[in-house]
Amino acid sequence: MILKKLKMSRLIKSFGWALSGLKDCILHEKNFRIQYIIALGVLVAGFVFSISLNEWMIILLSFAVVLCFEIINSAIEKLCDLVMPEYHAVIKKVKDMSASAVLLASIIAFIIGCIIFLPKVISLF
């Protein structure tokens, strides 16, 4: 019984730490805030255009991928800065590759958004 309570306590704490990390990204990571605001805008557009259930699933999955990559990118950049505060060619490559994952996910999410929303916008005219 005590072991179960300890495991539950750790689980609850781990959720708290994860939420703290998310809060930190929202408050202190400019690029994450930009992606987050875009995601909120697309959510509003989804309601305005009454997108289908399948479209919602694709949009939400796209958000998740972009925002998760942005969090991972931020974490990698912070770790690189801690390990090697001065310029280093390998650290630059690591940071650039990490940022490219976010860029690629964002481009694909943008294309998905265009596929879903452009026909709806065009049908208004």
Q: Is 95 annotated as a binding residue?
A: yes
User: For residues 72 and 98, what is the distance between their CA atoms, to the nearest angstrom?
Assistant: 8
* Number of Cα atoms under 13 Å in the Cβ half of residue 123: 6
> What confidence score (pLDDT) does residue 3 get?
63
> What confidence score (pLDDT) does residue 25 get?
95
> What confidence score (pLDDT) does residue 121 get?
94
List, in order of start, the domains of the chain with CATH numbers: 30-124 (1.10.287.3610)
**Per-residue pLDDT tens digits for 97-118:** 999 999 999 999 999 999 999 9
> What confidence score (pLDDT) does residue 10 get?
83
- State the average pLDDT for the chain: 94
Q: Is 55 annotated as a binding residue?
A: no
Catalytic residue set: 70
Q: Is 36 annotated as a binding residue?
A: no
Q: What percent of the chain has pLDDT over 70?
A: 95
Check whether 70 has a pLDDT greater than 90: yes
Q: Is 7 annotated as a binding residue?
A: no
**Per-residue pLDDT tens digits for 72-84:** 999 999 999 999 9
Region 30-57: mean pLDDT is 96
